[in-house]
Each structure stands twice: as C-alpha cells, then as structure tokens.
Amino acid sequence: MRPNRLPAREAAQHLRLLALDVDGTLTDGSIWIGTGGEVMKAFSVHDGFGLTLLREAGVELAIITGRRSAIVQARANELRIRHVVQGAQDKGAALLALCAQLSIEPRQAAFMGDDWPDLPAMTLAGLALAPADATLAVREHADWVSTRRAGDGAVREFAEWWLARRGLLADLLARYRSGGTDRTAPARPPNVA
C-alpha cells in the first residue's frame, strides 16, 4: 500500500463513484480498425453485469478515457452509464471535475486503470484499482488488483468484492435467484458514508 492511503477495505466503505478507463480496463486493450476506419472493441458481459450490480447498489458509474469512440458511448448507453468523458488528456482533472459535478469527494471515488495515463486519476481517487495485467507501475500504485485480466472479468471481480464487503452480495444474489421483480430499487448498504 502506498503511504498516506487507507487500506482498500476501509476506502471501499466510502465508495459512491466508480470511474473506469476503457482500453486495457473494460477491454483487453485490442483495437480493431477496418479499411473504412471502423473501430471494434470487445467488452465482457460479465464486467457489464458487475457494473449493473454496482448501479443497483447505488454506486454512480463513469467512464473516463483518452480516446474518442462511438462504440464506447454505445456501450455506456447499454449499461446506463450516464457520465462519459472521452478525449480526456488529464484523467485526474476529469475525475475531479466529475466529483465536483456530482458533489462527491474524491476519497469517495474509485478509479480503475491499466497504464500510465491513468495514474493521475488513480492518485486522486480514494480507491485505486487495476486489472491483473495492468502495467507494473500501475499495479504497484493500486490499492486493489484483480486476479482477472482486463476485459475478462476484472471489473466484475471488483464489483463482487465491493458488494461482499458492504454486505450486499448475498441480498442481490437472492433477488436474482428468486426472479424478484424489484431489481430497480437500489440495494443500499447500511451506513453509506
């Protein structure tokens, strides 16, 4: 753990916002470009469902990426991620602006990234996250590192880890098992900070 940082379990208690990089975090980092300039990206449905679970638990979701892609906006729309910042040259500044817009303190935010441009946002966030295959510098800077690779369940692993720490995982799972129709109401953790 880096100096002057709360342990991941303690920092997770304050989480109100999860912001994510895209390439190398929500995807495996591959970019497919056709002759017409089309870009394709592969997203994990497991990660997408993990984000849905976090949203159901009351966590705000955001994407902060340095690239611009209509595909990213389409995926964000699918997952009902309202806050999408594309073309961010300074992801730390973008995270601070988003926190101010949402009246959330940076210590109540988590940021997951995989490479050096993500370090400013990871430094400012209360909880810095990385997939297992992030660059060494990013993994060393992270408060929590998944055992899964980017685009292959790293975000879902974090979602389940956080939900379990907040005592929400069993309740959400039970609601899905029973086919309960009340999945639109957020499962709020006790004592949300």
Domain count, the chain: 1
Cα separation, 93 vs 124, whole angstroms: 9
Render pLDDT for 138-181 as a digit per residue (tens, 0 to 9).
Answer: 999 999 999 999 999 999 999 999 999 999 999 989 988 888 65
What value does the mean pLDDT take over residues 125-146?
97
pLDDT at 192: 44
Quote the CA–CA distance of 111 and 114 in Å, as a whole number.
10
Q: Judge whether 86 lies within some domain.
A: yes
**Does the structure show a pLDDT above 80 at 92?**
yes
| Residue 77 belongs to some domain of the structure | yes
Look at residues 128, 90, 134, 123 and name the one whose alpha carbon lies nearest to residue 112: 128
- Establish if 193 belongs to a structural domain: no
Is 182 domain-assigned?
no
Domain-located, residue 146: yes
Quick check: is 188 in a domain?
no
DSSP symbols for 19-63: EE-STTTTS-S--EE-TT--EE----HHHHHHHHHHHHTT-EEEE
Residue 186 domain-assigned?
Answer: no
Range of the domain at 169: 10-177
CB neighbours of residue 7 within 10 Å: 10
What angle, 0 to 180 degrees and rounded to 10, lies between the N-to-C axes of helices 169-177 and 154-165?
110
Residue 37 CA, chain-centre distance (Å), reads 28
| pLDDT tens digits along 1-43 | 556 666 777 867 889 999 999 999 999 999 888 887 767 899 9
The per-residue pLDDT for 38 is 64
Assigned domain for 189 exists = no
Domain at 92, CATH number: 3.40.50.1000
